[in-house]
Structure 1
Amino acid sequence: MLTLPAALLLAAVMATLWTAWRSRSLPSFPGCGNFVLMQLSASWWATAAAVESIVMAPADKLFWAEMAWIGIVGAPSFWTLFIWSYIQGELPARWRLVPAVAGAATWVVALTNDAHHLMYTATKPVSGTPGAALVYDHGLWFFATTIYLYVFMVMSVVVTAGGIRRTSPAHRTHYLGFLVAMAVPWLANIGYVTGNATLFDLDPTPFSFLVMGAVFYWLITRRRLFELLPVARDVLLDAVPDPVLVLDVEGTVVEANPSACALIGGAPTGGPGRSPVGRRLSDLPGMAALARLGVPAEAPQAMALALDGPDGPRSFEVTRVPLGAGPRTVGCLLMLRDVTHRRRAESRLEDTIRRLDGARREAEEGLAAEQQAKQALSGFLSMAAHEFKTPLAIIDGAAQLLLLDAETKAPAMLPRLEKIRRAVRRQVNILETCLADDRLNDPSFAPRCDLLDLPALLRAAVAAQADAAPGRRIELALEGCPPRMSADGPLLELCVHNLLNNALKYSGPEGAVLLAARGRHKAGGTPHLELSVSDRGIGIPPAEAARIFDRFFRATNTGTTPGSGVGLNMVRRIAALHGGTVAVDSRLGEGSTFTLTLPLGKDEVPAAVPVPGNATGASG
């Protein structure tokens, strides 16, 4: 039969379960899980007490009294864990094993009481009325469990009292509310144990825990404690390394963290260790400039502050944040960030930048002087090359006249005169290469665009190289060669001369050199010229093939063969100026093939049939 106390307890249980569900749906807060477990434990305890009042048989009442013990142990234990987590900081989840193990052990002892009577030594009804409540004589385990629960409840009171002492005035009323709520189960349990207070002949403690949970839920929802998250001051304020001051509307310091106390207490005119709380900000040493930020404002403000310290001047960035709800401002928060090291680093950085700027200017001046010297040197070399060409031309002309006269008067002099002419041509080629290299180094240089008779140019180049290397065989393959193309004639001729000279230089006297020219179309249909020079010489080491076109680079297997490492680099640069490329395919000890690829215009497409007289020939 449903009794009035049972109905009250079950109604309280339903309300408690609703608050537990609502607690889980609120924003996360420290100790939330322990708070919900406390509510569930208290609900189980109250439900068992309600069923105990409903059943009629004494044995059934005893059974439900035993069933309640897991909630009896859990409610105070989880409450203490919650208070600790909420005020001191979140406890690890493993601490929940303590009430879980203690509650399970007590539950087992209670359900097996008939075997050992450690929980109850005797029971009797309070009256002869059917369904009357039972009076219990308790055993040793009951008193041990009571001490355990009282220790937890005392711990919760101590933690809350410590929070009241250390917290700011804004949170003290909330913690006082915790103490008032905790007094309810204390008074109820003490009254029941001493026999001075019962609720319809039942233990009022479970009902008091439900009331305590409801009061606390009202506090945290009405006073918005979940949004404030008032964990311990040493977590929220003391652990902040930067000085923090809280001012009221009058400019009086109402709160200061240890960093702020140390900053003000260590000021030159302030007493060491003197707390700034209760003093006006304008009266604190070195803080008069901050008083201007203490005036009301709707938005955060910032300023710079300099204070003298034991290690020299210290720099701070000060931020003021107004405190209050809505249009009503009750004070402000001043946060001082020490930026001394940053300012010193910025000063050092500025000095370094100034030094770097000076070094840059010196480097620019040195570079300009070097460029001027280089230009002067280039001008001198150009002038010297032109000056050398004139006497070389005179020598070559004189040698030609002597050759005509020696053919009839001194035939034995012919080889020597030919040797003189070959030496002159070599010197002229070197001078032409130097002059061309100097022109290519000029950023403003642009190649000419002449319409060239390509086969004639190639034959002339072969003839010149054959004259310079008598006894050497140069084969010329002009099948498919375009009859004309647009290019810089002297530069293109210089490319051919360098490639042929390179092939003759690094191949044996018995090996032939092949010069082939043909027109081709790329995959996209763009016509281009492929001009290749092949030899059967020493080849290029595979590891060095990628560098063969670098300026002044020579392969390691060239030995004592004369060369400057400029010719192939010039070929690549001339090809690039014409929008073309040059590549090499070489096998060590077998020979090399250098392929020069240049674009052709639409009117320079190779003829369908070979140009007459362009068949493969040989010179030498």
Structure 2
Amino acid sequence: MLSLPAVLLLAAVLATLWTAWRSWALAPFPGQFDFVAMQLSASWWATAAAIEIIIPAPADKLFWAEMAWLGIVGAPSYWALFLWSYTREELPSRWRLVPAVVGAATWVASLTNDSHGLMYTAVQPISDAPGAALEYSHGLLFFVVTIYLYAFMVMSIVVTANGVHRATPAYRTHYLGFLVAMAVPWVANVGYVTGNLTLFDFDPTPFSFLLMGAVFYWLITQQRLFDLLPVARDALLDAVPDPVLVLDADGTVVEANAAAQALVRDGGPLGHRLAELPGLCDLSFGTSAALPVPLTLECDGGLRSFEATRVALTSGNRGGGRSAPREVGCLLMLRDVTHRRRAEKRLEDTIRRLNLARLEAEERLVAEQEAKRALNGFLSMTAHEFKTPLAIIDGAAQILQMDAEVKAPGMLPRLEKIRRAVRRQVNILETCLADDRLNDPAFALRRDPLDLPALLRAAAAAQCDAAPGRRIELDLKDCPAGLTGDGPMLELCVHNLLNNALKYSPAGTPVRLRAWIEDDTGGQSRVALSVADQGIGIPAEEVERVFDRFFRATNTGAAAGSGVGLNMVRRIAALHGGTVTVDSRLGEGSVFTMRMPLGREALCEKGMADMSAK
């Protein structure tokens, strides 16, 4: 017969089925299938219990009590799986087989209880009244299944209690709601199994599960439990060092990590619309929501720069079935870029200063080049102007020297000193003029057949005349008889090498001039010319720079020189297709070696266009 307990149960079943339908229509959330399966299992259980109450015959009551086991096993099992998926991580779908298999096996065992008696050992009405409730004596399988169900219930309590500990204050009430809702079926089932609690002489557990579904429905609709990100992700928000805010569809801040709460004074941002928050109210993403938006906020007494990024939070089906995607809120991430902006500003200032310095250096370089061109022009003009009076002086000295051989022999040393001084000045002028010619892009080498031994002897004799008492040793036994090249330029090279050797070596030591033929790596013959001295040598760290223009070694002291001669030797050797090297040891002397191809075809065709004058 229809009674108050049956009516209440059936009404609760209808409410639970409606809640299950509403839960399934929500945006996908972790454990959604398990949550709906728990509600359907509880509805099955409560429906079977209601029919058991309504039907008067004891045999029919027993049948529906046995039918209820599918829901009895499924409700707490799916509930435990839901809590684990929601508070920790989504469980693989194979875990759903556990309550399904255990529930089906228990259901079959209960329906076949007459053949084995493992579920109920005895069943009898509690009174003689028509439709009286049944009293069950439980068998071994009943207690095994009960232990299985209690294990799932204990797991639910442990998982939920751990969630209370980890949850932020804004969502801690959700977990407390879990615990309160779970306590109802737990207390009801323990009371029924121990015989201390019944409802209208029936098991109150189905009522408790339906009540738990009602509590969750309230949490879902009133506390918006599943509208945005799952509660379990709060710990991740708090671990992010940059400010993160979660906004609902109306622009209200429903969650914020510690860094975001520190941005807003006077109570924090929770519960306020974004448009009401100082500094954040001006934030506008427009049509470029995916791009970072610059933002400046006053924090801790100073201005800090942020880049705000908006990430839409949408709800929709995962498999293309129930509902179209819709935006339910957004995630607002503020990345602190204060240090980067300051570094960028310092970099911009540095680049600006470097550009100004570069422009200033370029202006100075242009001025220096103009001054150098003016100086070279002056030196060239001076050299040309000095050559004429020096020639006149040398000619007059020669005449006086011839006259003094007869009339005044005592004047010969003085006249010779005058002529040496004139020759030294002429050599300096020739070097300056040669350097000026080498700097002319139109300059081209002469290609004359040269008597190399005669050229070397003449240069050695001239240097000996300019340095009386000094000795130059010639080793020309392997010297080639002829060479194609620019005679004046090559003679100038020999003069410079001999002059340096005599200038930087002691008076009592000889300078050795040697020439020979050698083969290069390609099997081509070339002439090698070396000048060796026993002088002061060159510091090891300066050897590589000795051929640079205007460079003079640090140990040259007060010896006269311009740093042009050796650079000119290198350039003339390069024009002839050759090289010049130096092997020097500090305090022991130096050996300069110039190597040039013997053939006419090795001469450079481009003049000085490709030769650096550094």
Instruction: State whether TM-score is above 0.5.
Output: yes
| Aligned-pair CA distance for 1:434 | 3.5
Encode CA deviations 1:84-134: one digit per residue, 9 max, x unaligned.
xx769xxxxxxxxxxxxxxxxxxxxxxxxxxxxxxxxxxxxx9xxxxx98x
Say whether the 8 Å CA contact 2:160–2:178 is kept in structure 1: no
Counterpart of 2:397 in structure 1 is 399
Say whether the 8 Å CA contact 2:445–2:575 is kept in structure 1: no
| Aligned-pair CA distance for 1:287 | 3.8
Of the three residues 149, 155, 159, the one matched with 2:162 is: 159
Say whether the 8 Å CA contact 2:496–2:566 is kept in structure 1: yes
Encode CA deviations 1:433-487: one digit per residue, 9 max, x unaligned.
34444555x4958662523404143233223223323454434343443444444
Counterpart of 1:282 in structure 2 is 275
Q: What SS does structure 1 have at the residue aligned with 2:326?
A: coil
Q: Indicate how the Cα distance of structure 1 residues 424 and 257 shifts in structure 2: closer, same or farther if over 3 A, else same.
A: same
Q: Indicate how the Cα distance of structure 1 residues 338 and 367 shifts in structure 2: closer, same or farther if over 3 A, else same.
A: same
Encode CA deviations 1:11-37: one digit per residue, 9 max, x unaligned.
xxxxxxxxxxxxxxxxxxxxxxxxxxx
Say whether the 8 Å CA contact 1:540–1:588 is kept in structure 2: yes
Counterpart of 1:320 in structure 2 is 310
Counterpart of 1:427 in structure 2 is 425
Counterpart of 1:103 in structure 2 is none
| Aligned-pair CA distance for 1:560 | 6.8
Counterpart of 2:458 in structure 1 is 460
Counterpart of 1:553 in structure 2 is 552
| Aligned-pair CA distance for 1:388 | 2.0
Say whether the 8 Å CA contact 1:160–1:178 is kept in structure 2: no
Q: Please tell me the residue identity of whatever aligns with 1:318.
A: A
Cα distance in structure 1, aligned partners of 2:336 and 2:584: 68
Q: Indicate how the Cα distance of structure 1 residues 494 and 187 shifts in structure 2: closer, same or farther if over 3 A, else same.
A: farther
- Comparing 363-372 with 469-478, which one deviates more in the overlay? 469-478
Cα distance in structure 2, aligned partners of 1:430 and 1:498: 10
Encode CA deviations 1:524-555: one digit per residue, 9 max, x unaligned.
223322011234x3463775783655654347
Q: Please tell me the residue identity of whatever aligns with 1:448.
A: L
Cα distance in structure 2, aligned partners of 1:362 and 1:563: 32
Cα distance in structure 2, aligned partners of 1:321 and 1:410: 111
Unaligned runs of 5+ in 1: 1-78, 89-125, 127-131, 134-149, 198-224, 267-271, 606-620
2:242 is aligned with 1:242: yes
2:252 is aligned with 1:252: yes
Say whether the 8 Å CA contact 1:249–1:329 is kept in structure 2: no
Of the three residues 337, 340, 353, the one matched with 1:339 is: 337
Unaligned runs of 5+ in 2: 1-79, 90-120, 122-138, 141-152, 198-225, 317-323, 604-614
2:451 is aligned with 1:451: no
Cα distance in structure 1, aligned partners of 2:419 and 2:379: 23
Cα distance in structure 2, aligned partners of 1:190 and 1:483: 128
2:323 is aligned with 1:329: no
Counterpart of 1:540 in structure 2 is 537
| Aligned-pair CA distance for 1:179 | 8.4
Say whether the 8 Å CA contact 2:539–2:553 is kept in structure 1: no
Q: Indicate how the Cα distance of structure 1 residues 165 and 238 shifts in structure 2: closer, same or farther if over 3 A, else same.
A: closer
Q: What SS does structure 1 have at the residue aligned with 2:448?
A: strand
| Aligned-pair CA distance for 1:360 | 3.1
Q: What SS does structure 2 have at the residue aligned with 1:290?
A: coil
Q: What SS does structure 2 have at the residue aligned with 1:245?
A: strand
Q: Please tell me the residue identity of whatever aligns with 1:240.
A: V
Q: Indicate how the Cα distance of structure 1 residues 528 and 251 shifts in structure 2: closer, same or farther if over 3 A, else same.
A: same
Cα distance in structure 2, aligned partners of 1:400 and 1:462: 21
Cα distance in structure 1, aligned partners of 2:588 and 2:406: 45
Say whether the 8 Å CA contact 2:167–2:231 is kept in structure 1: no
**How does the TM-score come out when normalised to structure 1?**
0.56
- Mapping for residues 462-477 of structure 1, pairs under 5 Å: 462-470=460-468, 472-477=470-475
**How does the TM-score come out when normalised to structure 2?**
0.56
Percent identity of equivalent pairs: 56
- Comparing 463-472 with 417-426, which one deviates more in the overlay? 463-472
2:295 is aligned with 1:305: yes
Say whether the 8 Å CA contact 1:246–1:256 is kept in structure 2: yes
| Aligned-pair CA distance for 1:598 | 2.2
Cα distance in structure 2, aligned partners of 1:506 and 1:284: 84
Cα distance in structure 2, aligned partners of 1:177 and 1:368: 83
Number of matched residues?
A: 428
Name the Cα RMSD after superposition: 4.9
Q: What SS does structure 1 have at the residue aligned with 2:292?
A: strand
Say whether the 8 Å CA contact 2:569–2:580 is kept in structure 1: yes
Counterpart of 2:521 in structure 1 is 523
Q: Indicate how the Cα distance of structure 1 residues 244 and 543 shifts in structure 2: closer, same or farther if over 3 A, else same.
A: closer
Q: Indicate how the Cα distance of structure 1 residues 190 and 538 shifts in structure 2: closer, same or farther if over 3 A, else same.
A: farther
